[in-house]
């Protein structure tokens, strides 16, 4: 019997979740690894090799680690619910002139629910992820998420929507460590290739982080619908034409496609008139 009970660990195949799983295993938890398949590039219009947390290589890396340490590993296919909710919202938000944060939406409505549903079926008391964040219970009984030790890697901001009930069963083993600590732990475990794995800052379902190409693939005829709108200044002066309002985000400075002679930032997006204000 394990010292601390059974825990379901979300494993992407990357260094963070892998070290988190081994850390809990060595602390005496009965670890069960779970990799969630949220997306595949075959439906994204990309001709590039599939990469990131949903790739076959990443799934195999997670499974190999679990086998080496002697704990079970499962794969959970949540592509249908992920696509219907997260991806559709991603497209809708850009078409509404807003910049979405799909990670918040996924954590709030998809990932935690999927993890806990499977945890219940496997009789796991807790779930854990490789997020750089901390969780504590306040004197009033509420669970509070706070920044992890490594402020450069802090991920607490994408977890604000996770419910109190779900937080009560969640653990973040990496919250008190820096990224360099975790890489060193992987080396100490003899996992040199794992320690060398590059960071992934991309949205898992957007190939090469090119959201414009992704939108074009998802919305037929998008370029024809939105091309030729105006860049305007705050006083209403037209200063050029853009390629379509969904291809810009508030605060954007680079990649506007026009040289203005001075730094210009996107301050407002008006879908109804296909106007981008600078």
Residue 197 is assigned to a structural domain of this protein: yes
Mean pLDDT of 32-55: 65
155 and 44 assigned to the same domain: yes
Which is nearest to 23 in space by CA: 139, 172, 134? 172
Mean pLDDT of 194-206: 74
Which is nearest to 8 in space by CA: 106, 103, 129, 172? 129
Neighbouring CB atoms inside 10 A of 179's CB total: 17
80 and 179 assigned to the same domain: yes
CATH label of the domain that carries residue 256:
2.30.30
| Confidence band of 42 (pLDDT split at 50, 70, 90) | low
256 and 141 assigned to the same domain: no
pLDDT surpasses 50 at 39: yes
Cα torsion 111, 114, 118, 119 to 10°: value is 50
Mean pLDDT of 70-94: 87
CB 10 within 8 A of CB 34: yes
24 and 100 assigned to the same domain: yes
256 and 163 assigned to the same domain: no
| More confident of the two residues 83 and 30 | 30
Please write the tens of the pLDDT for every residue from 127-178.
999 999 999 999 999 999 999 999 888 889 888 889 999 999 999 999 999 9
CB 237 within 8 A of CB 264: no
153 and 184 assigned to the same domain: yes
Predicted local confidence at residue 121, as pLDDT:
94
| Residue finishing a domain among 209, 239, 257 | 209
251 and 201 assigned to the same domain: no
Number of domains in the chain: 2
pTM over 0.85: no
CB 21 within 8 A of CB 65: yes
Structure tokens at 55: 């790739």
Predicted local confidence at residue 255, as pLDDT:
83
Query: Interior CA angle at 145 toward 142 and 151, to 5°?
Result: 160
| Residue finishing a domain among 168, 183, 209 | 209
176 and 64 assigned to the same domain: yes
11 and 135 assigned to the same domain: yes
Mean pLDDT of 99-128: 88
Which is nearest to 266 in space by CA: 255, 257, 277, 254? 277
Phi-psi category of 255—alpha, beta or left, where left has phi over 0 and alpha has psi -120 to 50? left
| Confidence band of 47 (pLDDT split at 50, 70, 90) | very low
Active site residues: 106, 204
Mean pLDDT of 17-28: 94
3-state SS, residue 140: coil
Question: Domain of 252?
Answer: 223-277
pLDDT surpasses 90 at 67: yes
Residue 215 is assigned to a structural domain of this protein: no
97 and 230 assigned to the same domain: no
Residue 108 is assigned to a structural domain of this protein: yes
CA-to-CA distance for 274 and 226, rounded, in angstroms?
7
Q: In percent, how much of the chain has pLDDT > 70? A: 92
Residue 49 is assigned to a structural domain of this protein: yes
Residue 1 is assigned to a structural domain of this protein: no
> Element (H or E) spanning 197, and its range?
none
Residue 214 is assigned to a structural domain of this protein: no
Residue 218 is assigned to a structural domain of this protein: no
Mean pLDDT of 216-238: 90
| Confidence band of 68 (pLDDT split at 50, 70, 90) | very high
CATH label of the domain that carries residue 153:
3.40.50.620
CA-to-CA distance for 21 and 192, rounded, in angstroms?
17
CA-to-CA distance for 259 and 246, rounded, in angstroms?
20
pLDDT surpasses 80 at 44: no
| Residue finishing a domain among 180, 209, 238 | 209
Mean pLDDT of 232-247: 90
Residue 263 is assigned to a structural domain of this protein: yes
Predicted local confidence at residue 88, as pLDDT:
87
Least confident segment among 25-34, 39-48, 267-276:
39-48
């Amino acid at each position: 019997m394990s010292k601390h009970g059974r825990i379901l660990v979300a494993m992407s195949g990357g260094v963070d979740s892998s070290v988190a799983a081994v850390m809990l295993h060595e602390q005496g938890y009965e670890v069960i690894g779970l990799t969630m398949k949220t997306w595949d590039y075959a439906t994204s219009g990309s001709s590039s090799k599939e990469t990131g947390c949903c790739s076959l290589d990443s799934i195999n890396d997670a499974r190999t680690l679990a086998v080496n340490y002697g704990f079970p590993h499962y794969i959970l296919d949540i592509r249908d619910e992920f696509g219907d909710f997260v991806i559709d919202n991603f497209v809708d938000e850009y078409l509404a002139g807003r910049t979405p944060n799909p990670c918040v939406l996924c954590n709030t409505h998809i990932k935690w629910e999927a993890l806990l549903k499977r945890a219940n079926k496997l009789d796991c008391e807790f779930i854990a992820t490789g997020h750089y964040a901390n969780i504590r219970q306040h004197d009033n009984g509420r669970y509070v998420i706070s920044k992890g030790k490594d402020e450069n890697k802090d991920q607490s901001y994408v977890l604000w929507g996770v419910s109190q009930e779900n937080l009560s069963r969640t653990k973040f083993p990496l919250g008190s460590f820096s990224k360099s600590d975790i890489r060193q732990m992987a080396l100490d475990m003899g996992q040199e290739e794992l320690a060398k794995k590059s960071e992934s800052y991309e949205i898992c379902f957007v190939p090469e982080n090119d959201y414009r190409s992704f939108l074009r693939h998802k919305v037929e005829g998008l370029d024809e619908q939105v091309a030729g709108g105006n860049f305007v200044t705050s006083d209403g002066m037209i200063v050029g034409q853009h390629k379509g309002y969904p291809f810009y985000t508030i605060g954007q400075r680079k990649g506007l496609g026009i040289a203005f002679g001075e730094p210009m930032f996107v301050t407002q997006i008006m879908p109804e008139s296909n106007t981008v204000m600078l």
